[in-house]
Chain A
Amino acid sequence: MPHPEKHSADDVTVDQGRKAGRVVQRAYSRGQRPWRIAAILAICVLGLHAMGCEKLLTAKPDPGGRFDAPLPGLDNGELGDFQDGHAQFRKAFSIADGLGPIFNNVSCASCHSGDGRGRPENTLTRISRDAVDLAVDLGGPQIQDKCIPGATPERLPSGVLVSYRMPPPVFGVGLVEAITDSSILSHEDPGDSDADGISGRANMVTPAFYVPGSEPGGPPGPRVGKFGRKASVSSLLQQTVEAYHQDIGMTSSYRPVENVNPVASHAAVDPARDPELSDAEIENVMQYMRMLAPPAPGASTASRDRGQTLFTSAQCVKCHIPTLHTGPHEIEALANRDVALYSDLLLHDLGDGLADNRPDGSADGKEWRTAPLWGLRIAREFLGGQLFLLHDGRAHTVDQAIRLHGGEATAARDAYLALPVEDQAALADFAESR
């Protein structure tokens, strides 16, 4: 209902419409009728054209150029689950929904840009006193620097070991989960028996108490850790539950108690009843991530072919193994296939330069899980034109990342540095085309 202060919109419309009508009538007399007909025709043509024109009604993006595309070969039911999970992954939580009381961000998608890797402002701070003592009494294992009104955000305490972690990509984790332990363990060489200077080993971890045995990566443990920068988690369920609890402050039946700041004068809580997430919501997101496809690699070019050859000859493939194999899986699209992730998913000492000096499970302060080389081709599109590589995002190009490698990767790095500049560029081009 229009407000008394103003004209009725109808009054205005009628008055001005009549006025315009007189203008139109004058236009008639001047023989300007065609432009009106042209305007109507143009709008009608636009409408009709829109019905058949993808661009006017938005076009479907190339699935190979996105981080949030489903794996090929999913059935209709799985695609329905994928869509449900996609919405849940994108869902931003409000305080009324249960956000907090302390947290890092408001949704999964708020840290994983386009469902890929994050930006430096999303960096998480992990703390501990040693491999076992996670400094829970000081706010560990992760600092939550945001809080709802009434709560106190956590601040980095002194006297603890600190590691800064960029949010990793979430696509392809279903394939990583489906890779058999034996496929990974077959590449272990903890004693460097072949004397090549590379001694990868698996991070054998105990699944969280709430992970059922039926879940991939679940008990009985220990199991091969596959997720996280130091491969400290074996189960995708555990990864999902902990991310909701630690990063967003959302409780679930698996982690029903709110994460609060232990050093705050009083423990404020959010107004939502616990558990704030249903098991179905956890399941949706987990299934969604399982079914996310890695982006398609770039087209083959002479430079990239040359780079691939150099990637092999420089011994990068010793750790960045081109393919691993999946085993049986309830999702057919994940089962019994080769996965071109360019990683052995093992821990390697990468030297003092990259060390965070914070042990994580059985991984020591210099060891990192070999990062899969996928999704780099389009990463810049989702990160404002920039790249943030390595665990803390310090490298902005593949070249920088290679140069920062040390420890077991020293020989490969030196081989890269010994290459002519154009060959270095070709190798980096190949890596960034993945």
Chain B
Amino acid sequence: MRIRARWLLAAALLGWAGSAIAAPVVRPHAPPVPKPLELPPDSSMPPYHGSLDHVAYGLSGELRFAEDRTDGASNPDWFSFGEAGGFLFAHLSSRLDLAGQGLWERVADDFTLERAEVLLRVKRSMQAHAGIFLAPLGRTNLSHDAPSYDFAERSLVATQIVGVPHAQAGIGLRALPRGTSASQILWEADVVTGYDDGVITRAPGGTRIPSGRNNYGDQNGLPMLTGRVARRTSSGSEIGIAAESGPYNQTTLGGVHVDDLRFLHVIVADGNTTWSGFRLFSEVAYALIDVPPGLASLYADRQCGASVEAVRPLFDPLFRGWAGSRLNAGLRLDAVDFDRSIAGDSRSRLSASLNVVPRSGAVTRLGWYYEIRRDRFNNPTHLAGLTFTAASYF
């Protein structure tokens, strides 16, 4: 019985991997199968794999096989789900849409409700939205599905400073892109619940902003403001700056005043372009945290991080007649400093990846990373790993 279960598991794994690796050859004039719902002019939606009249839906997932080591000791978790998510889009009328999306991820071992929002096209170039949505805090937070990502892990600045995926309840306005050919300014401005005091209270060992993410309720009656302005050129390059700012903590507990209002400010700049065949992307974040005085010197009031990545297609198409398939190589350097006031409490990582993209929306990656973590004494811990990941939309 146990042997049969093992074979079934192996078959299921091979099937999953196969769906990403051996995707059907898409001939230049063949219609996409299955046919997705015709979506509004905003063409940024993922490749939906099913449609029911006005509803489109789909799934995404990632499998991870790895040999991870910490100071030479192997991590026994050689296989895991990297992430699993689902999404749904309902086109109710020419102006009104509903969107829902959820994601479970291995790194945080947490489920995030990324979207549960109503979208109302106010005018041709502007959309209002309300509900739960991803804060526009950098490009990675806005677009981080595993199948469209070039590395097995998201950057440290994204996961450790911004807290990708970082979704909140709120309401706001944003510009709708005018196709992809024109140079344009894009923007979004939202009033959201903001990070909560998990930034401090659920953060073991020091300030950790992601511990206060995914806050769907406000603790102090005052919202945070978040927004992003970006310039996108006709060639696809983009540079953007985003911020989120406001009070994060609980000031009263059971009617008793326990703390003053404390503010958190996160600023993120990102940019991407192509140069000599390389696709370059960088994201930088800086955070200022008003820490309660009783925690000063242990909990950081300033944090920062940066990542730079370069991806180059080596073969496109990977095989003749297999349109859309390609082989990419990528290199990323990223680092975060959790406490600007001391030498330690930081992480830096180098990642390399060789990706087979059989079709748009699926990828298999062979990756390697080397990371140095430093504790507050500045003592290093070395981590490294070889990873094989397969991610796809379904």
Contacts and interface: CB of A to CB of B under 8 A. Distances in A.
Contact of B200 (A105, A114, A149): A149
Contacts of B316: 17-18, 20-21, 24
A110 interface: yes
Contact of B366 (A2, A47, A146): A47
A29 to B, nearest CB: 15
A149 B259 contact: yes
A271 B201 CA distance: 10
The interface centre, meaning the residue of A6, A36, A105, A152 with most chain B CB atoms within 10 A of its CB, is A6
A119 B379 CA distance: 13
B175 interface: yes
Interface stretch (A88-96, A231-239, A284-292, A336-344): A88-96
A40 B354 contact: yes
A266 B352 CA distance: 55
A15 to B, nearest CB: 6
The interface centre, meaning the residue of A13, A92, A93, A148 with most chain B CB atoms within 10 A of its CB, is A13
Interface stretch (A55-63, A250-258, A313-321, A351-359): A55-63
B326 A21 contact: yes
Interface string B226-259: 0010101000101000000000010001001011
Interface string A24-63: 1000000000001001100110110011001011111100
B202 A94 contact: yes
- Contact residues of A: prevailing secondary structure: loop
A95 B200 contact: yes
A4 B314 contact: no
Nearest to A3: B142
A179 interface: no
Nearest to B272: A12
A153 B298 CA distance: 14
B200 A10 contact: no
A97 B211 CA distance: 13
A72 to B, nearest CB: 17
B81 interface: no
Nearest to A26: B277
Nearest to A91: B204
A40 B354 CA distance: 8
B101 A148 contact: no
Interface stretch (B1-9, B37-45, B216-224): B37-45
Given A10-B47, A10-B148, A16-B279, A4 B177 contact: yes
Nearest to B139: A6
Nearest to B251: A149
A94 B187 CA distance: 37
A382 interface: yes
B378 A384 contact: yes
Contact of A5 (B186, B253, B314): B186
Contacts of B354: 40, 43-44, 47
A150 interface: yes
A384 B186 CA distance: 47
B298 to A, nearest CB: 6
Contacts of A110: 205, 298, 376
A394 to B, nearest CB: 20
Contact of A7 (B73, B180, B206, B384): B180
A418 interface: no
A376 to B, nearest CB: 17
Nearest to B375: A109
B368 A50 contact: yes
B384 A57 contact: yes
A398 B343 CA distance: 26
B202 A96 contact: yes
A147 interface: yes
Interface in B178-213: 180, 186-188, 197-198, 200-206, 211
Interface in B77-126: 87, 99, 101, 114-115, 119
Interface in A109-127: 109-110, 113-114, 119, 121
B382 A58 contact: yes
Contact of A36 (B177, B274, B314, B385): B314
Interface in B7-44: 42-44
Contact of B45 (A8, A20, A47, A57): A8
B368 A150 contact: no
A9 B205 contact: no
Contacts of B142: 2-3, 5-6
A184 interface: no
A13 B324 CA distance: 10
Given A54-B72, A119-B377, A149-B258, A95 B186 contact: no
B368 A46 contact: yes
A20 B313 contact: yes
Contacts of B71: 58-61
Interface residues of B, number: 95
A121 B344 CA distance: 14
B204 A1 contact: no
Contacts of B315: 24, 36
B134 interface: yes
A57 B386 contact: yes
A147 B69 contact: no
Interface in B251-302: 253, 256, 258-259, 272, 274, 276-277, 279, 292, 294-295, 297-298
Contact of A24 (B145, B203, B313): B313
B51 interface: no
B322 interface: no
A24 B294 contact: no
A107 interface: yes
B46 A149 contact: no
Contacts of A58: 69-72, 370, 382-384
A9 B180 contact: no
A20 B274 contact: yes
Contacts of A136: none
Contact of B294 (A18, A50, A91, A146): A146
B180 A11 contact: yes
B353 to A, nearest CB: 9
Nearest to B382: A58
Given A60-B72, A114-B379, A7 B360 contact: no
A160 interface: no
A14 B360 contact: yes
A96 B45 CA distance: 38
Contacts of A185: none
Contacts of A43: 329, 352, 354, 366
A305 B8 CA distance: 66
Given A2-B44, A10-B360, 10 more contacts: A5-B177, A6-B142, A7-B44, A11-B44, A14-B360, A17-B328, A57-B67, A61-B71, A110-B205, A149-B295
Interface of B: 42-47, 67, 69-73, 87, 99, 101, 114-115, 119, 127, 134, 136, 139, 142-143, 145, 148-149, 174-177, 180, 186-188, 197-198, 200-206, 211, 228, 230, 232, 236, 238, 249, 253, 256, 258-259, 272, 274, 276-277, 279, 292, 294-295, 297-298, 312-317, 324, 326-329, 343, 352, 354, 357, 360-361, 366, 368, 370, 375-379, 382-386
14 contacts: A1-B114, A3-B134, A5-B177, A7-B232, A8-B46, A16-B236, A17-B316, A24-B315, A56-B368, A58-B71, A59-B71, A92-B204, A109-B375, A151-B294
